[in-house]
Amino acid sequence: MPTVVGGFIDAEEKENHFLDHWHEFNPKFAPADAYEAAAIQFLTKTRTTTIFECVRRNGDTIRFDQTSDEFAICSHEGILKTYYKPTPLWHQRGSNLLYFWEQCAR
């Protein structure tokens, strides 16, 4: 994980991800700045036994919390790429943990 995790690369990217994923969280995030801040907090908090993390070959760090289902990707430069809660219905895998491991292998 980079020592500093910033936000999305620009305001448009932040807004696009917010519009795609704000509804997946409870409570719901509003505005986009709160969504971005939660993603940064998730990526920088101390790992627990339920938080899995891997680094892809391209240097991206992926983090998944098996308890909360939070999933985030951060580039090796510390740029937030995405933050959401995956669902097996959407990704068509048996579980979100399997989805996480598949994403790590990419």
Contacts of 30 (CB under 8 A, 6+ apart): 22
| DSSP conformation letters of 45-106 | SPP-TTEEEEE-TTS-EEEEETTT--EEEE-TTS-EEEEE---HHHH-SS-HHHHHHHHHT-
Provide φ and ψ at 83, rounded to 5°. Answer: -155, 120
Helix (H) or strand (E) run with residue 43 in it: helix 32-44
Query: In one letter, which amino acid is 52?
Result: F
Q: 61-65 and 71-74: which strand pairing?
A: antiparallel
Decide: pTM greater than 0.75: yes
Helix (H) or strand (E) run with residue 11 in it: helix 11-21
Domain 11-104 fold is Nuclear Transport Factor 2; Chain: A, (3.10.450)
List, for residues 9-64, the tens digit of each pLDDT value.
Answer: 999 999 999 999 998 998 888 899 999 999 999 999 999 999 999 999 999 999 99
- Domain ranges, ordered by start, for the chain: 11-104
3 — pLDDT class (breaks 50, 70, 90): low
